[in-house]
Amino acid sequence: MIVVFVVAMAENGVIGRNGQLPWRMPTDLKQFRKLTLGKPVIMGRKTYQSIGKPLDGRDNIVVTRQKDFAAPGVHVADTVAGAVALGGELAARRGVDEVAVIGGGDVFRAALPLTRRVYLTLVRGRPDGDIVLDAFDPKVWREAAREPMQQSAGDQFPAEFIVLDRQS
């Protein structure tokens, strides 16, 4: 089992604004679903609350320090390490080899040392936002694949789908 990120990030590092995605990109959301369906997904409480419900067809694990947090159809962990361990158990039950970290910024930063692969949608724009990730260091991450997103009329920006693997 490996830990992966599934993240859309703009050229300026922005991944969120006011608890929401800072763009409208239906093509990217379809790619997100394809990459995460059938797998455990790990997210922070704020990310879960912005989605508003468990993602169907996936084991949802929410990381929170709120002792009383509970939501139907959701597993709760108080640390990212605990969420990854639980994700590994759930992945084994499902017969899948990836646990996907899907946000937000604090969860991405905490999970980065455990991550082996990044499924990155590089959004070709510079929207305003209040949640930012640092660029993925090319000394640490090797590009394994890249393809342009086939932009539909509903997509606010062009983008590229990139796969990065941690160098050994």
Neighbour tally for 146: CB within 10 Å: 12
Residue 47: predicted pLDDT: 96
Q: What is the pTM of this model?
A: 0.96
pLDDT at 114 over 90: yes
pLDDT in tens, 35-69: 999 999 999 999 999 999 999 999 999 999 999 99
Return the pLDDT at 46.
95
Q: Compute the average pLDDT of residues 111-136.
A: 97
Helix (H) or strand (E) holding 164: strand 159-166
> Could you give the CA distance from residue 75 to residue 92 in angstroms, rounded to a whole number?
16
The predicted structure's pLDDT at residue 168:
82
Domains parsed from the chain with CATH numbers: 2-166 (3.40.430.10)
Is 31:43 a contact under the CB 8 Å cutoff?
A: no
118: pLDDT strictly greater than 90: yes
